[in-house]
Amino acid sequence: MLNVIFTLDYEIHGNGEGCPHELMVEPTERLLRLFDEYGAKLTIMADIAEILKFKEFANQNGRDDYHYRDIVTQLQGAVRGGHDVQLHIHASYFNARHDGQRWVQDWSEYDFVGLSFERLDEIVRIGKTELESFLQPVNPDYRCFVFRAANWSVNPGRNVIKALLNNGIRVDTSIFKYGRRKGIVSFDYSAAESELVPWRVREDDLCSRDDRGRLWEFPIYCENRWIGAFLSPNRLYRVAQSRRHRISENPSGSAANGFPDSAKKTGLLDKLSLAAKKHAWKADFNQCTGRQLIGALRRAEQRYSNGSDNLPFVLIGHSKLFNRVNENSLRPFLEYVASHNHRFEFGTFGAFENQVGGSQSVVV
């Protein structure tokens, strides 16, 4: 059985522009309503660094221009309705300042994996404490135990792993096999243990498995595919949006394009090699069509149908990309999962909480 987990990165544009109501609250409201029609569950990966900035702005200015109250109300409502909220951190917002138009981030804290253990420990604690402070009153059993790093930047991650475990986080969901970046944030996940099956991570490397490890990696489902497989109306929308809200401080400009980084090359030889090479295609429910996602789910099922285990099929999305086109193209996928409930189910990480929490019993 595959457990379909939709994770939604809940944040404004990467360059600090944009209105949280327009990019987070309103699209997430539509998404929750759509999911409720099919019994699907949403896991909102809430960027707590931004949310705390919006709170600070309201407290300092006496005006809630960044919709902090609506955000908290929405997250509480989601948990009350059986959805989930877990931790996402764009550390560069903790020291951000507002220049009158947008948030100017602290670029020295942009690359998550580059921070010291002390700093990581501090910000993970702040994030987890904050989420639990307003979600436990809604559901006393609520626990923040899952994490995703900004820009998927977690490896090599000895300090990250230590900081997460130190704060009771049991699951990281930042890795996608085949993923590679080079620039202000760099990583290479081509050797990751699996594209789908969770593993206990080695103490210094989230991509590697060590059955004594206490932290689990639940990878975002990914396939190695040729560039044509990336085409969809919403992929183009994403490209246009990230051009408009480009991160000018980022010399590589690598952060927010919907296509692989290598797709920016323009020479003829580059184009030929681009067409021939394969690239990391994530199960992204905002950028892929429903038909593309059904294909991926069926391929995953074929590959892993032998085991009787309950396995997660983790998808990723971004609230700021959930437009009307996406709403219509996602329906066939939701319908497909809902109507094949003997093979698939909608879930959250909560379905695996016992499995990932019982690590103390592991024999060394």
Whose Cβ is closer to Zn ion: residue 8's or residue 334's? 8
Of the candidates 93, 174, 162, 76, which has an alpha carbon nearest to the alpha carbon of residue 125? Answer: 162
- Cβ closest to Zn ion, residue 208 vs residue 250: 250
CB 189 within 8 A of CB 179: yes
CA atoms within 13 A on the CB side of 174: 31
Q: How far is the CB of 90 from Zn ion (least distance, A)?
A: 6
Question: Residue 52 CB, nearest distance to Zn ion (Å)?
Answer: 15
| Smallest distance from Zn ion to CB 14, Å | 7
9 or 284: whose CB is closer to Zn ion? 9
Alpha-helical (H) ranges within 81-151 are: 117-135
Please, what is the minimum distance in Å from the beta carbon of residue 11 to Zn ion? 5
Please give the Cα distance from 66 to 54 (Å, whole number): 5
- Least distance in angstroms from the C-beta of 304 to Zn ion: 28
Can residue 109 be called a binding residue for Zn ion (CB under 5 A)?
no
Applying the rule CB under 5 A, the residues between 1 and 40 that interact with Zn ion are 9, 11
Min separation Cβ 286 and Zn ion, Å: 13
Assess contact for 164 and 185: CB atoms under 8 A: no
Shortest Cβ 113–Zn ion spacing (Å): 14
Q: How far is the CB of 339 from Zn ion (least distance, A)?
A: 32
**Amino acid (1-letter code) at residue 167:** N
Phi then psi dihedrals of residue 290, to 5 deg:
-60, -40
By beta-carbon proximity to Zn ion, the closer residue of 9 and 111 is 9
Shortest distance (Å) from residue 325 CB to Zn ion: 22
* Contact between 178 and 279 (Cβ < 8 Å): yes
Strands 222-226 and 171-172: unpaired
CB of 110 or CB of 349, closer to Zn ion: 110
72 or 316: whose CB is closer to Zn ion?
316
What is the DSSP-derived secondary structure letter of residue 231? -
When the beta carbons of 9 and 223 are compared against Zn ion, the nearer one is: 9
Contact yes or no for 74/25 (Cβ under 8 A): yes
Q: For Zn ion, which residue has the nearest CB?
A: 9
How many CB atoms neighbour CB 126 within 10 A?
16
Alpha helices in the chain (DSSP H): 20, 26-38, 48-61, 68-80, 117-135, 158-166, 233-244, 268-276, 290-304, 324-339, 353-357
- Give how many residues touch Zn ion by CB under 5 A: 2
Looking at the DSSP assignment, which residues form a beta bridge with residue 97?
104
Shortest Å distance, C-beta 108 to Zn ion: 18
**259 contact partners, CB below 8 Å, separation of at least 6:** 227, 230, 235, 239, 279
Nearer of residues 11 and 130 to Zn ion, judged by Cβ = 11
| Residue closer to Zn ion (CB basis): 149 or 297 | 149
Binding mask 200-219 for Zn ion (x = CB under 5 A): --------------------
* Interaction pattern, residues 287-306, with Zn ion; x per rule: CB under 5 A: --------------------
Q: Which is nearer to Zn ion, 89 or 311 (CB)?
A: 89
Q: Are 311 and 3 in contact (CB under 8 A)?
A: yes
DSSP of 32-61 = HHHHHHHT--EEEEEEHHHHHHHHHHHHHH
In Å, how far from its chain's centre is CA 330?
18
Binding footprint of Zn ion on the chain (CB under 5 A): 9, 11
